[in-house]
Structure 1
Amino acid sequence: MKRILFIVFLLLSSINGWAAAYVIHDIEESSVRSLTFQLSKLLPPDMTLLPVRRSLFEQNAAYIKDDDILISVGMESFRQVCESDSKGVVMAVFIGKEEYLKIRPQCSIPSSAVFSGAPIEKRLALLEAIWFDKKPLAVIYSQHLQVDEQAMSRQAEQYGFEFQFLKTETDRLSVLKSVNFVLDESMMIFSLVDTELYRDGIAQDILKLLFHKQQVMIGPSFAFVRAGALFAIYSNTEAKLQALAERIVMWQTKGVLLEAQYPETLRVSFNPYLIKAHGVVPPSASFLHDRYGLCSETRCD
């Protein structure tokens, strides 16, 4: 029945010329309904959003038209759209930059994205102001990321840091062995958005290990701070959807596909316990805003 309804909707949209975008996902129905509702408020009233599960999209990809917009939620949805025999354009959201760069070459249709996390240089700039241990920063990542180690190393040098890279398998034992190995020479893990690496509770296991070793992680999201990371620079859902809406409208009205990038509005959150334990003095809210363009818990203009 769901497949029939989906095909009928596509045929109707073709006949009536409705502007439509399809939200390809594999998340809870309540979550995707909320996400779709928030995004719809940022779009023109004639734009129709239709949530579609990944499995249903795969069955009906041939019905997608050249002017359709596919909004992929998460890394796996983006991968599936790129690997399908589809038309239209795809705009990825809730995906890391390095995840996007890994999958993008497989895309047979034009693509863009709104990245999760924050630019590496912005994270390094803030770290330079609060972290004075010059031991190498450990970067652990999986095969699902495209990491330019040389470019990242050059960025680190500009802020007085050095990166130590280690590519790992994503099973729990391999990840924890990798963490133990890199922490022999480092006090800190500089994490990237890596869905496969941190799934199934592995992130919590890493943070527990770091806590016992009195070492820390710079997280890619607020959830990591709550779980035990020192701090994270990130964007909230509202900022991501605003950036996504700008891309949808630009494509729909002018036929221009904006480049993949981070949202303009970024936030920073510190873990109060770890800040105190490691003697870190976080900048004031006004300094974070004026110097780094970051929203704090108390200020976001």
Structure 2
Amino acid sequence: MLTVCFLLLFLLCSTKPLASVYLVHDTEESSARALSFQLSRLLTVDSDVIPVRRAVFLTRSAEITEKDVIVTVGVNSFRGVCRVGSKGVVIALFVGKEEYDKIHLNCALSASAVFSGAPLETRLKLLQGIWLDRKPLAIVHSDTLLIDQQAMMEKGAEYSFEFRFFETATDRLSVLKSINFVLEDSALIFSLVDTELYQKGVAQDVLRLLFHKRQVMIGPSYAFVRAGSMFAVYSDTAAKLEALAEKISTWQNKEKLLAPSYPDKLKVSFNPYLIKSHSVVLPSASYLKEHYGLCSEEEC
């Protein structure tokens, strides 16, 4: 009997995966399990993908090994994991570039990310092609973003746009006051991925205000288009997971952490009502793909 027990123990140890992937989240358990399942199917190395709530993970971070990967779902999970001294590496998912840059400044781990939204240049290039008004573009943001204003101004100038930046408190009243103020000089809000700013329905309130003033926003995601922004360039969850799997597999196979990046596959979605009311002429689906590298929502 004792011999059988030792044999079973040996077999279990010998088949243990080389490393684990911890999916740290604050979402519904069913959503976390679905993400874990989809991610595990994309990995090239035999790894457990273990969904774990952020509060639980923070109490057991000492169990992480050098080879392990911590995938954080959302800004709060990324911030929480970065504050804890641990082994392994952390890869942030569902965060914006400017959110990542701010948190990464004080992150205790080697870190990378798959960004939500789309590269600034891609958004500006498309906007230049369809939007004739050259009034300044307003960026309203919270203090949770790290924004390189000089770099953004230089990139905007390449496409004949000027940026104006406005930091605001994130309560509903402060945000709406800021939007009212910036619209005196700007015809368009150029939004960034800003979880803190657009929480608890504030995005819907902002979009309703813009609708009544007949002014518009360029959103950071498809959800913003559905709520009333003019268009958004973004990646879907499948594209994000493909990019994430590549980063994880590269780390596990080569111990090389790839730099943070946007997914290669980007979509664009337009709000038909706003496109029509502002007399915007849209490029064809084939032109969007060839000239901008974007897949239209109808064609994807």
TM-score class, shorter-chain normalisation, is over 0.9
Secondary structure of residue in 2 paired with 1:128: helix
Aligned residue identity for 1:237: T
Show structure 2 runs of 5+ residues with no match: 1-11
The residue that corresponds to 2:87 in the other structure is 87
Q: What does 1:69-148 correspond to in 2, within 5 Å?
A: 69-148=69-148
CA drift of 1:19 comes to 2.1
Matches of 2:157 and 2:61 in 1, distance apart?
Answer: 46
Q: CA deviation at 1:18?
A: 3.7
CA deviations over 1:31-80 (Å, ceiling 9, x no partner): 11111111111013621100010000111112211111000001111101
CA distance in 2, matches of 1:199, 1:283: 33
Displaced runs of 4+ in structure 1, greater than 3 A?
Answer: 12-18
Secondary structure at 1:106's aligned position in 2?
coil
Distance 2:268 2:44 in 1: 31
Q: Answer with 36-45 or 110-119: which moved more.
A: 36-45
Structure 1 residues 14 and 156, CA gap change in structure 2 (3 angstroms): farther
Alpha-carbon shift at residue 160 of structure 1 (Å): 0.6
Contact 2:83 2:107 survives alignment (8 Å): yes
Aligned position for 2:26: 26
Say if 2:215 is the partner of 1:240.
no
User: Partners in 2 of 1:264 and 1:109 — Cα distance?
Assistant: 25
Aligned-partner Cα distance in 1 for 2:254–2:70: 17
Equivalent pairs counted in the alignment come to: 289
Any conservation in 1 of the 2:243–2:263 contact (CA below 8 Å)?
yes
Consecutive unaligned residues of structure 1, counting only runs of 5 or more, are 1-11
Q: Which amino acid aligns with 1:234?
A: Y
TM-score computed with the length of structure 2 as normaliser = 0.94
Q: Deviations over 1:117-172 (max 9, x none)?
A: 00011100000000001111100011000001111111111101111110111111
Three-state SS of the structure 1 residue aligned to 2:250 is helix
Which residue does 1:257 correspond to in 2? 257
AA aligned to 2:153 is S
The residue type paired with residue 146 of structure 1 is L
SS at 2:135's partner residue? coil
Out of 62-71 and 213-222, give the one that drifted further: 62-71
Instruction: Provide the residue aligned with 1:284 in structure 2.
Output: 284
Counterpart residue number, 2:65: 65
- TM-fit CA distance, 1:15: 9.7
**In structure 1, what is the Cα distance between the partners aligned to 2:93 and 2:278?**
34
Return the alpha-carbon distance in structure 1 between the equivalents of residues 177 and 121 of structure 2.
Answer: 28
Q: Which residue of 1 aligns with 2:8?
A: none
Counterpart-to-counterpart distance in 2, 1:18 and 1:48: 9
Kept in 2: contact 1:286–1:299 (CA 8 A): no
Superposition deviation, residue 230 in structure 1: 0.1
Q: Secondary structure at the match of 2:60?
A: helix
Q: Take 1:228 and 1:202, find their aligned partners in 2: how far apart are those partners?
A: 13
Checking the alignment, whether the CA contact within 8 Å between 1:13 and 1:20 is kept in structure 2 is no
Q: Which amino acid aligns with 2:137?
A: L
- Does the CA contact (< 8 Å) of 1:13 and 1:19 recur in 2? no
| Alpha-carbon distance in 2 for matches of 1:188, 1:16 | 54
> Is the 1:220–1:234 Cα contact (8 Å) retained in structure 2?
yes
- What's 2:266 paired with? 266
Q: Which residue of 1 aligns with 2:153?
A: 153
Identity of aligned residues (%): 60
SS of equivalent residue, structure 1 residue 48: strand
Q: Measure how far apart 1:17 and its partner are.
A: 5.2
AA matched with 2:226: R
When residues 282 and 64 of structure 1 are mapped into structure 2, their CA distance, relative to the original with a 3 A threshold, is same
1:210 corresponds to: 210
Partner of 2:189: 189
TM-score, normalised via structure 1 length: 0.94
Aligned letter for 1:187? A
CA gap of 1:14–1:116, structure 2 versus 1, over 3 A, is: farther
| Higher Cα radius of gyration | 2
Query: Which secondary structure does the structure 1 equivalent of 2:264 belong to?
Result: coil
